[in-house]
């Protein structure tokens, strides 16, 4: 059984990841990582897509169909499945994640730091400001990893989404944010690789040229998936992968039986490697 670090980058477009994240593509070029093109579910907004990524169920099933639906998830998430098998769980994430899988309402003081082994997310650092720096968030995740040695760790930076809404995804600021985040990956990923983690890096949604997202355009729905794991053959894969396949994929890496409503699509099988060109 392996341990998994899952990084869910909020608002990262596929093309931006392909063009700006040089460290991750260094790993792909050196046959140490795989890159996939993921097509998100709809609507391409945060809370519903968090539920897709962490429970493997579509919004019409989960009932989490907008950011305005604030309640606990009714599905079994990766956190729940891991805890039921005696695994440790942790998250450094936006407060929506605490609301979905630990409890509501979110208290900005009481819920900022959480440690309760009865929770689905047993150890957590949950921020509430969209402008919370990705650098701080990445360090929050590493603190959780070092302190508690979780089997499943979610790290959820918001900087791409925040900058994209302010300046648009075609801006220097958005591209710079991707470069800066890639720099933090370059700082921490080598150590995680040395410790044999399965590393999964993806996004909840992309963003259109207006700095918005909820629609059906490829800019909003196409997001990256990088896997750094012996479970995947390295290289670039151009065939679209459904976003619903990511949660059961993580379950497989953790040696967990997926929940009954999760997709049965297996990302590690049946795809042919395509060109190594950036986009």
State pLDDT tens for residues 193-211.
999 999 999 999 999 999 9
pLDDT above 60 (res 278): no
3-class SS at 34? strand
In a domain, 118, yes or no: yes
Count the neighbouring beta carbons within 10 Å of the beta carbon of residue 254.
Answer: 19
In a domain, 21, yes or no: yes
State pLDDT tens for residues 213-252.
999 999 999 999 999 999 999 999 988 999 999 999 999 9
pLDDT at residue number 276? 40
In a domain, 258, yes or no: no
CATH number at residue 139: 3.40.720.10
State pLDDT tens for residues 51-92.
999 999 999 999 999 999 999 999 999 999 999 999 999 999
- Number of domains the chain contains: 1
Domain of residue 132 covers 4-253
- Which helix (H) or strand (E) segment holds residue 138: the answer is helix 134-148
Model confidence, pTM: 0.96
State pLDDT tens for residues 23-49.
999 999 999 999 999 999 999 999 999
Q: Give me the residues paired with residue 127 across strands.
A: 94
In a domain, 47, yes or no: yes
């Amino acid at each position: 059984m392996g341990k998994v670090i899952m990084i869910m980058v909020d608002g990262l477009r596929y093309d931006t990841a392909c063009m700006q994240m040089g460290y991750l593509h260094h790993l792909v070029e050196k046959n140490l990582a795989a890159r996939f093109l993921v097509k998100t579910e709809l609507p391409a907004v945060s809370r519903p897509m968090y539920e897709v990524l962490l429970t493997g169920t579509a919004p019409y099933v989960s009932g989490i169909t907008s950011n305005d639906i604030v309640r606990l998830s009714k599905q079994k998430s990766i956190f729940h499945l891991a805890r039921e098998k005696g695994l440790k769980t942790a998250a450094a994430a936006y407060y929506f994640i605490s609301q979905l899988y630990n409890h509501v309402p979110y208290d900005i003081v009481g819920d900022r730091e959480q440690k309760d082994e009865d929770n689905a997310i047993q150890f957590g650092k949950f921020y509430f400001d969209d402008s919370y720096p990705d650098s701080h968030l990445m360090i929050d995740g590493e603190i959780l990893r070092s302190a508690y040695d979780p089997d499943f760790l979610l790290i959820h930076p918001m900087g791409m989404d925040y900058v994209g809404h302010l300046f648009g995804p075609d801006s220097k600021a958005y591209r710079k944010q991707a470069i800066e985040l890639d720099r933090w990956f370059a700082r921490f990923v080598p150590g995680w690789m040395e410790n044999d983690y399965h590393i999964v890096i993806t996004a909840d949604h992309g963003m259109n040229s207006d700095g918005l997202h909820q629609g059906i355009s490829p800019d909003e729905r196409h997001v990256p998936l990088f896997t750094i794991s012996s479970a995947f053959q390295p290289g670039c894969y151009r065939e679209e992968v459904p976003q619903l396949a990511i949660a059961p994929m993580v379950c497989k890496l953790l040696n967990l039986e997926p929940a009954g409503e999760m997709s049965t699509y297996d990302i590690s099988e049946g795809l042919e490697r395509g060109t190594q060109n950036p986009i």
